[in-house]
């Protein structure tokens, strides 16, 4: 986080700490993006492992429930890899373009103003 100034900030405990002021719209660093993708992959693969265990445990109870857990455990690795290789979406930048005011928003003095050219 880039900052040009730092302002003191009081915690609920009353301690004063310096908090940086954000001055840029920069994307997260490559390291932060990679950590987020790794975390997403580990969570997805953890859900897959739980699904396969649930499929093994529900085999005697319901074949349909076991099939749902087995399919989920089979499909999740593909989703995990796709999500781990995907980068975060780029921020949409709105271009500030001039648009003339609507006719009903123009002041009367501007409409009747005389222009004298020399």
| Whole-number pLDDT of residue 110 | 55
Q: Does residue 103 carry a pLDDT above 60? A: yes
Reported pTM: 0.54
* Residue at 65 is within a domain: yes
How many domains is the chain partitioned into structurally? 1
Is the Cβ–Cβ distance between 18 and 7 less than 8 Å?
Answer: yes
Residues 58-93 have pLDDT tens digits of 988 889 999 999 999 999 999 888 888 887 777 776
* Residue at 75 is within a domain: yes
Q: Please provide the DSSP assignment of 77-110 as one string.
A: HHHHHHHHHPPPPPPPPPP----PPPGGGS-HHH
* Residue at 3 is within a domain: no
CA dist 38 and 32 (Å) reads: 10
* Residue at 71 is within a domain: yes
* Residue at 14 is within a domain: no
* Residue at 59 is within a domain: yes
* Residue at 24 is within a domain: no
| Whole-number pLDDT of residue 31 | 87
Among left, alpha and beta (phi > 0; psi -120 to 50; other), residue 40 is alpha
| Whole-number pLDDT of residue 39 | 93
Q: Which domain holds residue 68?
A: 44-86
B/e letters for 62-79, b = 16+ CB within 10 Å, e = fewer, are eeeebeebbebbeebeeb
Residues 46-60 have pLDDT tens digits of 999 999 999 999 988
* Residue at 51 is within a domain: yes
């Amino acid at each position: 986080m880039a900052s040009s100034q730092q302002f003191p900030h009081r915690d609920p405990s009353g301690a004063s700490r310096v908090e940086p002021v954000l001055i840029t719209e920069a994307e997260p660093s490559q390291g932060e993006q990679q950590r987020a993708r790794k975390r997403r992959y580990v969570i997805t693969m953890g859900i897959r492992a739980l699904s396969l265990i649930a499929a093994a445990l529900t085999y005697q109870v319901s074949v349909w429930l076991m099939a749902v857990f087995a399919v989920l455990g089979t499909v999740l690795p593909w989703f995990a890899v796709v999500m781990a290789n995907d980068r975060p979406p780029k921020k949409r930048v709105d271009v500030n373009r001039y648009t003339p005011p609507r006719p009903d928003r123009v002041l009367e003095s501007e409409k009747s103003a005389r222009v004298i050219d020399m």
